[in-house]
Amino acid sequence: MAVRSEIDFIRQVLIHSPGTEHNFTLPKNTREWVEDKNGNLIQNPDYLLFDDIISPGRMSDEHSELEQVLHAFTDPENTFLLKDLLLDTIKPTNQREEIFNNCCELDQRLYGTDNFIDTNYVMEMENDDVSTLLLSGRTAKPEINSVFKWPLPNLIFTRDIAVVLNKALIITWGKWPARQREMLLMGHIAKYHPLFSDYTQLNFHDLCPDIFLEGGDYIVLDKETLLIGLSERNSKESIEAILPLTFGEGFKRVLVVDLPKTRSMMHLDTLFSRISNDEIIVFPPLYNDKEINGHTIQTYGIERGKSIFDITPVQQSLSNCLKEYGYNFQAIHCGGDEPVHQEREQWSDGANAFTLAPGKIICYSRNHETAHALQDAGYEKISAKDFIIDSKKHIVDDRKILITISSSELPRGRGGPRCLTMPLDRS
């Protein structure tokens, strides 16, 4: 199993279906900034990174469309649900106890939580009830309700909790407390589940406990080049820490793009997706300009044996940076040619496409201008529901296809189809 390119045919993928954790997100969890008692704006300690309260049922329906499309490419047994892997992992009593206790320690460290239930009680619970507890923070018992302070609504974005680079699996660590229990759970799953036994594993938090790394900033351009975003959730120190593993997995170079440190551009894959041998979807200011909203774009080209701290960044567009290394992509504009549509659809993840095979991609249905730009580039637009009716025909023929999934609720968590998927194996 390996991932050597963004566009190779998807063989195995990890996703997480919406669950009870989405029932417990409150209005106070959707505000990044709040006023303190003196009227000063401070970062909200209860922020869960969702922009709004979602409809769990409708979100599940939208996610189900994604899952069915993935089934057509991977077969159902190779589209893995994170909850299923978690259930397998907590079956042995010793592993269940280890995971629960570590989650308790983390919650206490982050929030000062002290309402934990007796470990012996957890050992006697049914597997499904334990997984619900770990994901939602609650039990079904009214007398023992909230255990962990907050649920894990962002776990649907499996892209961020781990990264596969060739045959290496990096367990990441989120900048925001709201996501750290996700990474902790993924670390335990990777440690114990046989699905991951053949990967070289690196637990980033064990290596670097004081810094952060999230998967959305890592794009395996091809077997030679790794593209990384230097974003609000990824630092030079994070990149430096994984360079030895990167080059050890056979990559010849790492190209780093210094992004604006804003929520709207939290990861590189919110601005850039490779979708075929010679095509990409991009947010035009990143690709064509040297500046976004007053932020100067700087790029780093790191070769084997070099440190990012030894490299003088070059002020240039991503387009020019890629051309220096022989990449001449046809850039399809997120939002089309109008700047107002570009900005709107970048916010709703128009640039965050998931490539199933070269020229066969999944996008959100709401990004109409991006879809028009893809159609102008020769893509046939088809809804997920229509695709599923005769999926084999669409997979084997040579047409370029844009498969759209319903998207009224999923984007409220600030993530697109690429964010919702973590490839484990591409042929």
328-345: b (≥16 Cβ within 10 Å) or e: ebebbbbbbeeeebbbbb
Q: How far apart are CA 9 and CA 290, in angstroms?
A: 33
pLDDT at 325 (0 to 100): 94
Nearest alpha carbon to residue 141 among 153, 130, 149, 154: 130
- One-letter amino acid for residue 342 of the chain: Q
Nearest alpha carbon to residue 159 among 356, 427, 417: 417
- One-letter amino acid for residue 280 of the chain: I
Cα dist from 123 to 20, 313, 422, whole Å: 21, 53, 30
Which segment of 28-42, 60-74, 327-341 scores lowest on mean pLDDT? 28-42
The reply to whether 2 falls in a domain is no
The reply to whether 119 falls in a domain is no
pLDDT digits (tens, 9 = 90+) for 277-326: 999 999 999 888 788 888 888 999 999 999 999 999 999 889 999 999 99
pLDDT digits (tens, 9 = 90+) for 122-151: 888 999 999 999 999 988 765 566 789 999
The reply to whether 333 falls in a domain is yes
Q: How far apart are CA 250 and CA 248, in angstroms?
A: 5
The reply to whether 355 falls in a domain is yes
Q: How far apart are CA 220 and CA 3, in angstroms?
A: 8
The rounded percent of the chain whose pLDDT value lies above 90 is 78
Neighbours of 61 (CB within 10 A): 15
Report, as an integer, the average pLDDT of 233-241.
94
| Angle between helix 93-111 and helix 177-192 axes, rounded to 10 deg | 160
Report, as an integer, the average pLDDT of 402-414.
94
Q: Indicate yes or no: pTM above 0.85.
A: yes
- Cross-strand pairs, 407: none
Cα dist from 106 to 92, 102, 148, whole Å: 21, 6, 10
Mean residue pLDDT of the chain comes to 93
- One-letter amino acid for residue 118 of the chain: D
pLDDT at 16 (0 to 100): 97
pLDDT digits (tens, 9 = 90+) for 174-212: 999 999 999 999 999 999 999 999 999 999 999 999 999
Q: How far apart are CA 395 and CA 87, in angstroms?
A: 32
Provide the CATH number for the domain around residue 296: 3.75.10.10
Range with top average pLDDT, 6-15, 45-54, 137-146: 6-15
Cβ neighbours for 304, distance < 8 A, ≥ 6 positions apart: 247, 252, 253
pLDDT at 214 (0 to 100): 96
The reply to whether 135 falls in a domain is no
Full domain range(s) for residue 168: 10-17+56-82+153-426
- Structural contact between residues 162 and 172, judged by C-beta atoms closer than 8 angstroms: yes
Cα dist from 218 to 105, 230, 335, 397, whole Å: 29, 10, 23, 30
What band does 96 get if pLDDT is binned at 50, 70 and 90?
A: very high
Nearest alpha carbon to residue 59 among 12, 23, 85, 13: 23
Is the pLDDT at 169 greater than 70, yes or no?
yes
**Tokens for 177?**
């407390």
The reply to whether 148 falls in a domain is no
Q: Which value, to the nearest 10 degrees, does the dihedral of the CA atoms of residues 196, 59, 269, 279 take? A: 100
The reply to whether 122 falls in a domain is no
- Structural contact between residues 329 and 276, judged by C-beta atoms closer than 8 angstroms: no
Report, as an integer, the average pLDDT of 380-389.
96
More confident residue, 85 or 396: 85
Nearest alpha carbon to residue 290 among 265, 268, 315: 315
Neighbours of 389 (CB within 10 A): 10
pLDDT digits (tens, 9 = 90+) for 252-283: 999 999 998 988 888 999 999 999 999 999 99
The rounded percent of the chain whose pLDDT value lies above 70 is 99
pLDDT at 143 (0 to 100): 57
The reply to whether 30 falls in a domain is no
pLDDT at 288 (0 to 100): 85
- Cross-strand pairs, 12: 425
pLDDT at 9 (0 to 100): 97
Concatenating the DSSP letter of every residue in 297-314 gives PEEEEEETT--GGGPPPE
Is the pLDDT at 37 greater than 80, yes or no?
yes
pLDDT digits (tens, 9 = 90+) for 59-81: 999 999 999 999 999 989 999 99
What band does 106 get if pLDDT is binned at 50, 70 and 90?
A: very high
pLDDT at 114 (0 to 100): 80
What's the number of domains the chain is made of? 1
Is the pLDDT at 248 greater than 90, yes or no?
yes
Q: Write out the E strands in 242-321.
A: 253-258, 272-274, 279-282, 291-292, 295-296, 298-303, 314-315
